[in-house]
Amino acid sequence: NKDVRTAIAQAMDRAGLLQKTESSNSPATQVIPSSLPGYDKSVSFPAFDLTAAKASLTKSGYKNEQLEFVYIKELQVDAPVLIEQLKALGLNIKETSFTSDETDAALDQLESGDFDLFTAGFTSDISDARDLLGALLSSTESTYPVLKDEAYDKLLADSDKAFDPTERIKLL
């Protein structure tokens, strides 16, 4: 449901998240970091606005269905803050946390698709936005294949035919 996703994006206080987790990072504004070709400063996540987020959630028709949020405690220290923000939005969150000793079990659950929400990080050793977009969102390449979109996967495949990063980004 696009309106639920919009509500979640609007309810994320990225600056507050960094403050509460005592991070020195800058808030992410999009999936592609500014250091990579393909970053577009005109693209951005919605600004934090809890009132607008609640209106988007109401528009979505959300009926207090329980959403399971899966994370690994020691590795994803941002998860409790994100869960707090999601609950402030009005979502009914079931928290499923694993210890670092249970990482394999957590990954098994994520790979099975038996969850609603999770948090993960990704670091690329390739200076190309295509690497991030495939690894994070592709239904054929991602470790956590949650997006099932043939058109998106085709864009990724077509971009693989362009060797110039600028041309590849234009395709994406």
The 10s digit of each residue's pLDDT in 102-119 is 989 988 888 888 888 888
Helices (H) and strands (E) in the chain, counts: 8, 3
Average pLDDT over residues 3-17: 94
What is the helix (H) or strand (E) element at residue 7, kind and residue range? helix 2-11
pLDDT digits 0-9 by tens, 50-68: 999 999 999 999 999 999 9
Judging by DSSP bridges, how do beta strands 66-72 and 117-118 pair with one another? parallel
pTM above 0.85, yes or no: no
For residues 168 and 82, the model is more confident at: 82
Distance CA 146, CA 164 (A): 28
Amino acid, res. 85: Q
Three-state DSSP state, 22? coil
Pairwise CA distance, residues 164 & 172, whole Å: 13
